[in-house]
Amino acid sequence: YPGCMLPGLNNTLARRDFIDFGATDEQITEAMNNYMETGQPIFSLGFSEPGAGSDNQAMTAVTRKQADGTYLLNGQKTWVTQGEIFPNVLVIAKDEDPARENRSMSMWIVPKDTPGLSTAPLHKIGNQVAAFCEMYFDDVVLTEDMRIGEPGKGFLNLMKNFETERCLIVAQCIGTAQA
């Protein structure tokens, strides 16, 4: 069944994202150990937003630095593949200001059980191989060790992800059409 390609697609993207986006040695080790034990990636990808579609500049999820050095994450993500199953989510959010003009975005690895993070299943027609969900971030506290890569470089990382993701999705669609 061509739809069973989806778990492989997620595994490939998650591992590549983590390594390419500048995860620390500790983050990579934890992710690989988890993968060796479970066969699943350590995180889902929380990139899409309900009001943004493919217009990534329209994203409004935002992190704001607090006086104590932590960050507060607020916003919503949708179409998070396996978001209710995997133990973490890799989130992209704007730094400090959700305005469309703000191109400074960062990536964060957020444990699914972090206070303020909640999920809701996303019901869809077809493609039932993998569950999708929506994620809500309400004053989720982030620390600097949860950041993936350089501050403000998340948008460039996202575009790099899409280069690979879109090629893999095209291959999946061609296989499905041929089948």
Count of all residues that appear for the chain in the document: 179
The sign of the dihedral angle between the CA atoms of 155, 159, 100, 61 is negative
Q: Which residues pair with 135 in a beta bridge?
A: 77, 119
Pairing of strands 88-95, 43-46: parallel
Catalytic residue among 84, 134, 144, 165: 165
The sign of the dihedral angle between the CA atoms of 9, 79, 135, 59 is positive
Active site residue 134: no
Nearest to 112 by CA among 84, 143, 93: 84
Please state the separation of Cα 26 from the chain's center in Å: 19
Q: Could you tell me if 141 and 70 are in contact, meaning their C-beta atoms sit under 8 angstroms apart? A: yes
The sign of the dihedral angle between the CA atoms of 83, 87, 92, 94 is positive
Q: Which residues are catalytic?
A: 165
